[in-house]
Structure 1
């Protein structure tokens, strides 16, 4: 480490200490032992922390039932893979479920440690991995959800995203080069014009841009975006333009600089932006160039993010003649085994076995021929996973909440669904309103990018501590994306429906439905 990253052994925080003692990836060779020991007998640091390097998360709120986070690059799955995921959670009955995340990923719930060796073997047979998906690693890499399908796309992001994952994880086997970052790290590649990946909230993002003098396609580079309990920042331009061929190398260079020089003393000040601010952007850029082995070209004068954000729910023509992709709304991203089996069957019967995930926690089934489309739309599953949901339901996003997450201060998913249904019964809207729920300041539900963001907190009412929210407003996605700000603090959840009703009327053109009184 250099001066900015230097910490003495006595000043290391507890996370840096246990990483120095034993690399997190080392537990990969101990899975069989852990399975035979049982969760209560595993070394506490291995159980609570190092297992996250294998994507396995101990949850004190559900002791003995672990969460498992996958890596689904660019959100692309096939029917065999989703069947394997479904069979895993099916084993656990009412405890088993899967959540689509805001990073085009899937998290499985109810996992028991004794089943882990078999689960990992089953993943391997269908090309799935959960390696390096937690703690101080690069999280799931996001790309355009309609990559390769959209006639207006500028670049198909799928292959680049897979190449980055293969580099980071040694093709899913685990890569010690990148298992000890100062903190977690997010990467996104945008291939379309509408910023479907929310580039601005990533530590490293690539957005489409043409070099003016010769109209050569490439990407402008953004750095430093992040959400945390203490601070949220949008990514800033690195003043660099890279060709698609250099994207993987630039990712490696940025990560090496961050790994070797990132701040490690204070976990709250360890994300990439803190290093950029301490060094200054020019020094950071020059250090990246040194690792890259060549100079970076200046950024293109403008990027190509000039469309409003699309949610991809509904029926859309593909660029392939005679084919369609259909976006299904998955309420707050929650799936059960029977849902997943049925989705896999629909993808096989009507499409080409492919399924896509979106950052709005929804699913896309592509490659449905014109001749099969009408029949597909009559399938029973679409009554629950609609192609045309109500306007508030359509844009609802929620983190896991207190039902499964020990960080969450409030329950989110079930409450969010119930409240949205109640508001839709009261109000008439003319356009979607993006309402995001997150259970705590870690902001997994991304309230800062929403029209209305709700962050869980504890507040006081009638002398008692109750579940409440802080309200954020003004988040903008798509072109000219920016983060919203907190406008109201400490609203008790039991009072929230009336507050949201008023916000929707005053700010989003909602109208109260007329109440028809029936007289005898």
Structure 2
């Protein structure tokens, strides 16, 4: 560590102290013991913290019913894997459910500690892993949801995302090299033109860019090997959301060829691991280190770790499309095949839904299911000859391919139903509010409304047209649930973060406030039915 990072045990926060006592990955060997002990007899630090290294999360609001977070690189599952997840959720009856997350991932709810050995065996059998998916680890790596399907893509991200996952997790077995970062770390790779991964909110992101006169990538020789531009990625660093601060990622002034993305990822993570701040967890994400050092020093340290110079960034990237949501029916680059995006209301699935998605992917497609950062599902590789009958499947009545213009862009975090950090209930309230607004208004284009239950911003209100962040306020002498309202977030090309425009609107008053915002700022009009009643 450098002298800018914290090295004395006395100044370490409690998280750094327990990480120093025992690597989080060591918890793997204790799973059988915990299963027989029961959750109430477990050591508190093991139960509340170290279990997160194997993707198991104690939830104080549902004691004894744990959450499991998977790793789903690039958001891709097989129908067999989805079926196994459904079987796990099914055993818990009404307590069992799953949520698609804003990192193309899936989380299972209602899990009992005594079932962990069996669940992990089932996962292993079908190539699923939960390793290093929580706490101070690299989270699910996001890539283009239509990678390999999209005729307009510049690069298929699937293999690179998998290679980074394999490097970080030792192919799903756990890698102690990367299990003690100063804080969590997000990586995204996009090979399309519409910034489908929200590159700007990641600690490290690779966005497509062509470099003139580039042969060998990083020797910095300046030799013009080929007259035609070479494809690669410009590198962005430092984007993050936290309760204390939210920042968009900034350019590293570096361009890398696809074959060097994994090595550059490793170098950047190692620099963060060895130099990031560990005293104050509110100031420990990568951007705080970049602030302290300056971008030039950070880049130089990455080059030193890499053992090579980085080429300067390409003058422009290729993010020049508006963001797509992939809901609906689309032709693939493969002749005669289609992918269909199903809208999953606020990402919530139950066992029956998951079995049906698995079945549809196997019967109509190639047995593949994809998740998106908008919490939706894509079923690819459906032949033209089977598309019409696929579209008559009853599941599509609930998971629509043409939902309402507010419904289709709705995103919500877990909320107070399952999360102890949330200050308000989000998912059910979000659905009810949108349903009411769509009954009152007519719109001409989607409006992205994101809900998050607390300032940790898992629901990403800063990237939304309208973002709602849970808080509390006083009304008529009582404390009530409320939201701070964010506006101005933009995704796709020229992405930017929104800012807070209104504080502490009571949730019970929110519908009328949102109705006015939609009319004033997004071209919504009162529906004929509403006008007639007035």
TM-score for the superposition, normalised by structure 1: 0.99
Query: What's the counterpart of residue 192 of structure 1?
Result: 192
Query: What's the counterpart of residue 431 of structure 1?
Result: 445
Query: What's the counterpart of residue 84 of structure 1?
Result: 84
Give the Å deviation of 1:248. Answer: 0.3
The answer as to 2:158 corresponding to 1:158 is yes
Paired with 2:92 and 2:310, the residues of 1 have a C-alpha distance of 51
Q: How does 1:384-403 map to 2 (within 5 A)?
A: 384-403=398-417
SS in 1 for 2:528: coil
Give the Å deviation of 1:463. Answer: 1.0
Query: What's the counterpart of residue 263 of structure 1?
Result: 277
- Post-superposition Cα deviations, 1:249-270, rounded to whole Å, max 9, x if no partner, equal 0010001100000001100000
Structure 1: state its 5+ residue gaps. Answer: none
Query: What's the counterpart of residue 442 of structure 1?
Result: 456
- Post-superposition Cα deviations, 1:379-428, rounded to whole Å, max 9, x if no partner, equal 00000000000000000000000000000000000000000000000000
Paired with 2:256 and 2:362, the residues of 1 have a C-alpha distance of 38
Q: Retained in 2: the 8 A contact 1:102–1:359? A: yes
Give the Å deviation of 1:516. Answer: 7.2
The answer as to 2:183 corresponding to 1:183 is yes
Query: What's the counterpart of residue 201 of structure 2?
Result: 201
The answer as to 2:506 corresponding to 1:488 is no
Q: How does 1:341-490 map to 2 (within 5 A)?
A: 341-490=355-504
Q: How does 1:177-326 map to 2 (within 5 A)?
A: 177-213=177-213, 214-326=228-340
Query: What's the counterpart of residue 514 of structure 2?
Result: 500
Indicate how the Cα distance of structure 1 residues 517 and 182 shifts in structure 2: closer, same or farther if over 3 A, else same: closer
SS in 1 for 2:252: strand
SS in 2 for 1:391: coil
Q: How does 1:124-135 map to 2 (within 5 A)?
A: 124-135=124-135
May I ask how many residue pairs the two structures share in their alignment?
A: 519
Q: Retained in 1: the 8 A contact 2:6–2:12? A: no
Indicate how the Cα distance of structure 1 residues 18 and 516 shifts in structure 2: closer, same or farther if over 3 A, else same: closer
Paired with 1:284 and 1:450, the residues of 2 have a C-alpha distance of 31
Q: Retained in 1: the 8 A contact 2:440–2:530? A: no
Q: How does 1:42-121 map to 2 (within 5 A)?
A: 42-121=42-121
Paired with 1:507 and 1:212, the residues of 2 have a C-alpha distance of 42
SS in 2 for 1:383: helix
- Post-superposition Cα deviations, 1:290-320, rounded to whole Å, max 9, x if no partner, equal 1111000000000000000000000000000
Query: What's the counterpart of residue 333 of structure 1?
Result: 347
Paired with 1:188 and 1:134, the residues of 2 have a C-alpha distance of 17
SS in 2 for 1:46: helix
SS in 2 for 1:487: strand
Q: Retained in 2: the 8 A contact 1:98–1:106? A: yes
- Post-superposition Cα deviations, 1:201-246, rounded to whole Å, max 9, x if no partner, equal 0000000000034310000000000000010000000000000000
- Post-superposition Cα deviations, 1:444-467, rounded to whole Å, max 9, x if no partner, equal 000000000000001110111000
Paired with 1:136 and 1:471, the residues of 2 have a C-alpha distance of 29
Bigger CA drift: 2-11 or 12-21?
2-11
Paired with 2:407 and 2:269, the residues of 1 have a C-alpha distance of 38
Give the Å deviation of 1:517. Answer: 9.4
SS in 2 for 1:239: strand
Q: Retained in 2: the 8 A contact 1:448–1:472? A: yes
Q: Retained in 1: the 8 A contact 2:144–2:190? A: yes
SS in 2 for 1:34: helix
SS in 1 for 2:529: coil
Paired with 2:2 and 2:286, the residues of 1 have a C-alpha distance of 15
Structure 2: state its 5+ residue gaps. Answer: 214-227
What's the Cα RMSD here?
0.9
Q: Retained in 2: the 8 A contact 1:212–1:301? A: no
Paired with 1:124 and 1:400, the residues of 2 have a C-alpha distance of 27
Query: What's the counterpart of residue 222 of structure 2?
Result: none
Paired with 1:259 and 1:432, the residues of 2 have a C-alpha distance of 41
Paired with 2:40 and 2:330, the residues of 1 have a C-alpha distance of 50
SS in 2 for 1:209: strand
